[in-house]
Amino acid sequence: MNAIPSAPAVQTVHVPLGERAYDILIGPGLIARAGAEIASRLKGRRAAIVTDEHVAPLYLEALLASLDAAGIAAAKVVLPAGEKTKSFEHLITVCDKVLEARVERNDCVIALGGGVIGDLTGFAAGIVRRGVRFVQVPTSLLAQVDSSVGGKTGINSRHGKNLIGVFHQPDLVLADADVLNTLSEREFRAGYAEVAKYGLIDKPDFFAWLEANWKAVFAGGSARIEAIATSCQAKADVVVADERENGQRALLNLGHTFGHALEAATAYDSRRLVHGEGVSIGMVLAHEFSARMNLASPDDARRVEKHLKEVGLPTRMSEIPGELPPAETLMDAIAQDKKVKNGKLTFILTRGIGQSFVADDVPASEVISFLREKHP
Ligand SMILES: NC(=O)c1ccc[n+]([C@@H]2O[C@H](COP(=O)([O-])OP(=O)(O)OC[C@H]3O[C@@H](n4cnc5c(N)ncnc54)[C@H](O)[C@@H]3O)[C@@H](O)[C@H]2O)c1
Ligand SMILES: O=C(O)C(=O)C[C@@H](O)[C@H](O)[C@H](O)COP(=O)(O)O
Ligand SMILES: [Zn+2]
């Protein structure tokens, strides 16, 4: 990693996916520029903005004004905030609103919000008229570093997390760093778990840089933009190599097999657990499980836990408020994971910091006895 640059400026990460290629712009003032950026890239002059009730009062007017100034007429839909919004009920609302607004294939649907709004809106954009243009304006750290990039969209099912959805790449991502100033500390930390994830997958230098510079990242300014851009570049590289997760894209799931099971076990109740917190606990579990399988040193798991704890993230299942179901129920959720092939479990395991790999055919018996140990 480089030293922290002095002045925050807009950085561009290009995602070279052939006819689905797009830019991710990261920096200050991008909501004010959104209309101009969209108008210069897309032919349509109509849009539908989807946002949530926390983000709407903060940024919707500014986005509408920017679109209006660029000659783009926009409809809007404001949904409840939180993970439970990733549901069929709200998908229907968004699809109806987009159709009512006569958004055509060359027009666009804009997600203004965190990963919940991005995943839901991207799914709607992928299925209305069999696919309309899609612009991500991510407003949470998690959405800026992860969910707005790569084209995974979807909703949750009673059978588990993100089980219904499509791949639908955005045409543009506008990550306005200024908006992170209104994000709660808890949500900022949750997004940070996904930032740390990139270091733990295959960027040990980035992880070490985060250990040294996390306070500057939390404080804002250039270090934050640097961390967001590094994360987006890391994700873009993986997505370009394996857009539809036939192999190595599964690395981006580090910590998620356990994390998603915990989200399902807490009924997607954000008072108990949010996605990034589940990923934080899941990444520690993945490192501990790797040590238990004699793949990595227990010191690596301790180092990961130390850093995540230091920034204030939960690292243990016991930190989740309220009762958790037994290990067997967590296993049921894990068995519904999309990485399961022919009934065999796939986990992202590690040989050390920044040395993650995709492990097919992980014995369920090992996982259940590990879970029983961790959650007696
Ligand atoms: N598609 C992908 O590749 C991908 C990647 C990672 C996570 N995800 C999904 O993303 C979701 C989590 O996203 P999230 O952490 O952004 O959650 P979220 O969308 O629920 O946002 C977190 C909270 O912050 C609020 N908020 C967002 N931006 C704000 C701002 N600027 N100021 C004040 N409040 C703001 C929201 O209203 C919400 O209450 C999960 O559903 C997860 O599965 C998807
Ligand atoms: O983009 C990906 O690929 C990821 O796995 C990123 C994850 O951080 C994200 O939570 C994603 O939604 C998980 O996907 P899923 O396929 O496990 O539902
Ligand atoms: Zn995630």
ipTM of the complex: 0.99
Confidence of residue 290 (pLDDT cuts 50, 70, 90): very high
Instruction: Check the annotation: does 77 bind a ligand.
Output: no
Specify the pLDDT at position 342.
Answer: 84
The pLDDT of residue 344: 87
Mean pLDDT calculated for residue range 144-148: 98
Q: What is the pLDDT of residue 10?
A: 93
Q: pLDDT by residue (tens digit) across 245-272?
A: 999 999 999 999 999 999 999 999 999 9
The rounded percent of the chain whose pLDDT value lies above 90 is: 93
Per-residue confidence (pLDDT) for residue 5, from 0 to 100: 52
Q: Say whether pLDDT at 59 is over 70.
A: yes
Residue pair 38/72 in contact (Cβ under 8 Å)? The answer is: yes
Q: What is the 3-state composition of the chain as percent helix, strand, coil, each rounded to the nearest 5?
A: 55, 20, 30
Amino acid at 159: H
140 CA distance to ligand 1 middle (Å): 6
Considering the domain 11-181 in this protein, what is its CATH number?
Answer: 3.40.50.1970
The whole-number pLDDT of residue 137 equals: 99
Tokens of 282: 């899941």
Question: Residue for token digits 């060359």?
Answer: 106
Which residue owns the Cα nearest ligand 2 atom 18?
162
Beta bridge partners of 345: 362
Placement of tokens 């995709």 in the chain: 358
12 in a labelled binding site: no
State yes or no: is 245 an active-site residue: yes
| Confidence tier at 361 by pLDDT (50, 70, 90) | confident
Mean pLDDT score of the chain: 96
Compute the average pLDDT of residues 348-355: 98
Phi, psi of 37 (to 5 degrees): -65, -40
260 is catalytic: yes
pLDDT band at 1, cuts 50/70/90? low
Residue that wins the pLDDT comparison between 173 and 3: 173
Q: What angle do CA 54, 106, 179 make, to 5 degrees?
A: 25
Confidence (pLDDT) at 352: 98
Is residue 256 part of the annotated active site? The answer reads: yes
Q: What pLDDT is recorded for position 79?
A: 98
pTM of the model: 0.97
User: Is residue 117 within 8 Å of residue 60, measured between CB atoms?
Assistant: no
The whole-number average pLDDT for the span 294-303 is 98
Q: Tell me the torsion sign for CA atoms 309, 313, 316, 319.
A: positive
Please tell me which residue in 33, 46, 90, 152 is annotated as part of the active site.
Answer: 152
Closest ligand 2 atom to Cα of 161: 18
6 assigned ligand-binding residue? no
Q: Is it true that 11-181 and 185-374 share their CATH fold?
A: no
What are the b/e assignments for 310-347, b being 16+ CB within 10 Å? ebebbbebeebeeebeebeebbebbeebbbeeeeebbb
Token pair of 211 as six digits = 């250990």
Q: Measure Cα distances from 160 to 83, 101, 329 in Å.
A: 12, 32, 12
pLDDT tier, 220 (very low <50, low <70, confident <90, very high otherwise):
very high
Average pLDDT of span 183-206:
98
Q: In this predicted structure, what is the pLDDT of residue 87? A: 98
Per-residue pLDDT, 3: 55
Residues 313 and 280: beta-carbon distance below 8 Å: yes
User: Exposed/middle/buried for 178, CB within 10 Å: 0-12, 13-18, 19+?
Assistant: middle
Mutate to test the pocket of ligand 2, among 119, 152, 156, 166 (most ligand atoms within 8 A of CB): 152
Is the pLDDT at 4 greater than 80, yes or no?
Answer: no
| pLDDT-derived band at 341, boundaries 50, 70, 90 | confident
Contacts 24+ apart (CB under 8 A), 365-373: 366/289, 366/292, 366/293, 367/289, 367/331, 367/334, 368/327, 368/328, 368/331, 370/285, 370/288, 370/289, 370/292, 371/327, 371/330, 371/331, 372/327
Q: Which residue has the tokens 């996390």?
A: 214
Q: Which amino acid is at 22?
A: Y
From 75-79, 177-181, 334-338, the region with the lowest mean pLDDT? 334-338
**For residue 132, what is the DSSP state?**
-
Distance 107 CA to ligand 2 centre (A): 27
Enumerate the H helices of the chain as residue ranges: 30-41, 61-69, 88-100, 115-127, 141-142, 185-202, 204-219, 222-241, 256-265, 275-292, 298-310, 327-335, 364-374
How far is 255 from 349, CA to CA, in rounded Å?
A: 9
Give per-residue pLDDT as tens, 81-121.
999 999 999 999 999 999 999 999 999 999 999 999 999 99
Q: Which residues lie below 8 Å from residue 280, measured CB to CB, with a gap of 6+? A: 190, 193, 196, 255, 259, 308, 313, 314, 315
Count of CB atoms within 10 A of residue 182's CB?
A: 11
The pLDDT tens digits for 23-47 are: 999 999 999 999 999 999 999 999 9
Asked if 266 contacts 256 with a C-beta cutoff of 8 angstroms, the reply is: no
Q: What distance separates the 2 farthest-apart alpha carbons in the chain?
A: 60
User: Distance, CA 253 to ligand 3 centroid (Å)?
Assistant: 7
| Overall average pLDDT of the 2-23 stretch | 83
Class in CATH terms, 185-374? mainly alpha
Can you give the pLDDT at residue 222? 92
Return the domain boundaries, the chain.
11-181, 185-374
Ligand 1 center–CA 53 separation, angstroms: 13
Q: How many CB atoms lie within 10 A of CB 208?
A: 16
Q: Mean pLDDT, to the nearest integer, of 60-73?
A: 98
